[in-house]
Amino acid sequence: MKPHAPWRILVASTLFLSSWMAAPVRGENPPNRLTRSESLSGWRLLFDGQSTEGWRGYKKEGVPEGWKVVDGTLVRADQGAGDIITDRKFQYFELSLEYNISQGGNSGLMFHVTEDNPAPWQSGPEVQIQDNIDGHDPQKAGWLYQMFRPYPQAWAGEKETPDATRPPGQWNQLYLRISPAGCEVSMNGVVYYQFRLGDERWDRLVAKSKFAQYANFGKAGDGHLCLQDHGNWIAFRNIKIRELAEDGSAKLPNDRELAVKAVPAFPNLKWEGWQPVEEDGSINRPIRILELTYARGEPSKLYALDQGGRIFAFVNQPDVENAALFLDFRGRVSVWSEGPMANEQGLLGLALHPDFHRNGQFFINYTRPKTHETVISRLRIDPANPKVADPNSEEILLVMPQPFQNHNGGSIEFGPDGKLYIAMGDGGARNDPRGNGQNRSQLLGTILRIDVDQKTGDLPYGIPSDNPFANAEGIRPEIFAYGFRNPWRIAFDKETGYLWCGDVGQDLWEEVNIVTSGGNYGWSVREGSYSFGNRTPGPDAAGAIDPVWAYDHQAGKSITGGRVYRSKRMPLLVGKYLYADYVSGRIWALTCEGAGKEASSNEQLIAGGMPVMAFGEDAQGEVYFMVDTNRSQMIYKFDQP
């Protein structure tokens, strides 16, 4: 091969870096539209922003003149508007809408409404809508009138009844699910309560309410949706519905299914010092592989990170039998299996220095026992034995306090620029109680970018001069991007240089982002592209970047961020971002043309049953995925069926 001219390499590198550091087009989503994911998942609009088609007055033909379409919103504008209902009836469904209510205003959303009573509330249960500050009704917005109300989550330290509503003048998102598998109401992305129609608890609450006198209240089984006229100004938009099957299931966001299968990548591999079951029959704590990577200049070897505190190394051959212990850091890291909140702690990230094959440096991300702090450290190869690391060589670069045990993020990656990127969660609990996601004066809820080969001032690392906030007052200069909840695995595409991130959602949405310099990804005033919580969005929130893909909790409940496939072995996967959902066990392949663009295709690879913890990659661009299991065969790859 002909050698490259040095100036050509420089130009190519500059273009390469600018492609992934350039900011995407930002701006608020236009209302009354569906994302590709929503369309694939069976959502449709009940209001198109232009007409009242599909609605009519209760027990009337047509929509009363008091309801008007104004600038893409459905407005109860004038007196005498009256309640309006959908033309169609619905049995099992999910409904999402946004409302903006006047000061002191009151309204409501009813479901399973029939027209055999003088008023719709005599048959259809009502989710209250009102201004919670100056509204006159003790039943707050989001409560199921006289029946269900939100409750504090003790595990998250909540003591007061949640109120996630935003004040008049701001849009609120209300979500309602009616399903045989369980019903649910959320306000601005925060789950308020669950219930089951017609069960013993439901009947008991109806009997105590003013609705007890109506024999068929809540018993129709299906019916119209109703927007209530309570004499106050209110506007609605983004009214979306998805009908559910008889068993409560929903359509999945799949363009198609690809014909692949999962096979053990190293079926004979044994892990030094560990076996699933001892001779006496006792079961050992599983090895959880959260990283599988390679060193530049050493393409024939793989390094595997165990959440329990160990790093293993083995030859990258299908018939390899031994994974040798490279580093044992147990005792210095949290034990992930000790307590329900510790599940996301431990040894979480590994990145080998770009010159590892020369300098023997590598970096880890872990949480400390007892204090729960996040630590970023540098370690080195043992000079007396280059096959293992020296555990006493630890040089601590960064220590970050953690207010709770969960949402630690954890993955670390060297970018094509040679800088170290660090994924940090928002600090834990739920609802981001300390507002870390949008607070750039601290490091939680961010992706950091540091220079491990230089030092800035008294810091043991350098602040790159081209970091987006390197010279911004009141902002930590390490921050590369922010607005993340729990970025569970980040990865660079070795061809395009894009930084991919899977961010775990709370109650409604999981998201995939392509991360750019200075980007705000919304949490915790948004979850995905949707409103979240009742914090007033700051001036930066208007420019929050939408995910390139998001899926709802009918498809899965905990995203595992993946990697872009670049191996020549499976041509049908090349250039696609492979990712998974830990809870549903599904795996997909996402096609996206770049930052700021919605993904153009989402193809299902595995229909379920694979609790993927993380994805790995070798020097040839082969992508592996690691599952949560007590077996030795925990590393898989894709193959032809």
Residue 28 confidence class, pLDDT cut points 50, 70, 90 = low
**Residue at 23 is within a domain:** no
Q: What is the pLDDT of residue 27?
A: 43
pLDDT tens profile 86-142: 999 999 999 999 999 999 999 999 999 999 999 999 999 999 999 999 998 999 999
User: Total structural domains in the chain?
Assistant: 2
Cα dist. 187→85, 164, 220, 467, 566 in Å? Answer: 22, 6, 25, 36, 41
Cis peptide before 334 (omega within 30 of 0): no
Instruction: In whole angstroms, give the CA distance from residue 591 to residue 38.
Output: 16
Residue 29 confidence class, pLDDT cut points 50, 70, 90 = low
Q: What is the pLDDT of residue 17?
A: 35
Q: Based on the domain organization, do 314 and 455 belong to the same domain?
A: yes
**Residue at 290 is within a domain:** yes
Q: What is the pLDDT of residue 549?
A: 97
Mean pLDDT in the chain? 93
pLDDT tens profile 290-321: 999 999 999 999 999 999 999 999 999 999 99
pLDDT tens profile 182-239: 999 999 999 999 999 999 999 999 999 999 999 999 999 999 999 999 999 999 999 9
Q: Based on the domain organization, do 60 and 161 belong to the same domain?
A: yes
Residue 595 has pLDDT above 80, yes or no: no
Q: What is the pLDDT of residue 80?
A: 86
Task: Output the domain CATH number for residue 236.
Answer: 2.60.120.560
Q: Which residues, including other chains, have CB under 8 Å from residue 182's CB and lie 6 or more apart?
A: 194, 195, 196, 248
Residue 487 has pLDDT above 60, yes or no: yes
pLDDT tens profile 377-389: 999 999 999 999 9
Q: What is the pLDDT of residue 596?
A: 76
Q: What is the pLDDT of residue 30?
A: 82
Q: Based on the domain organization, do 422 and 353 belong to the same domain?
A: yes
**Residue at 12 is within a domain:** no
**Chain centre distance of CA 297:** 34
Q: What is the pLDDT of residue 157?
A: 83
Give the percent of the chain with pLDDT over 70.
95
pLDDT tens profile 436-463: 999 999 999 999 999 999 999 999 999 9
Q: What is the pLDDT of residue 4?
A: 34
**Residue at 385 is within a domain:** yes
Q: Based on the domain organization, do 152 and 274 belong to the same domain?
A: no
> Where in the sequence is the domain holding 596, given as residue range(s)?
255-639
Is residue 85 a contact partner of residue 231, using CB atoms and an 8 Å limit? no
Q: What is the pLDDT of residue 278?
A: 74
**Residue at 294 is within a domain:** yes
Residue 158 confidence class, pLDDT cut points 50, 70, 90 = confident
Amino acid (one-letter) located at 412: I
Is residue 366 a contact partner of residue 346, using CB atoms and an 8 Å limit? yes
Q: What is the pLDDT of residue 341?
A: 80
Residue that finishes a domain, picked among 208, 243, 278: 243
Give the percent of the chain with pLDDT over 90.
88
Cα dist. 457→395, 460, 556 in Å? Answer: 17, 8, 45
Instruction: In whole angstroms, give the CA distance from residue 138 to residue 161.
Output: 13
**Residue at 20 is within a domain:** no
Residue 19 confidence class, pLDDT cut points 50, 70, 90 = very low
Q: Based on the domain organization, do 259 and 237 belong to the same domain?
A: no
Instruction: In whole angstroms, give the CA distance from residue 119 to residue 111.
Output: 13
Is residue 359 a contact partner of residue 351, using CB atoms and an 8 Å limit? no
Residue 2 confidence class, pLDDT cut points 50, 70, 90 = very low
Q: Based on the domain organization, do 223 and 288 belong to the same domain?
A: no
**Residue at 346 is within a domain:** yes
Residue 281 has pLDDT above 80, yes or no: no
**Residue at 19 is within a domain:** no
Q: Based on the domain organization, do 559 and 464 belong to the same domain?
A: yes
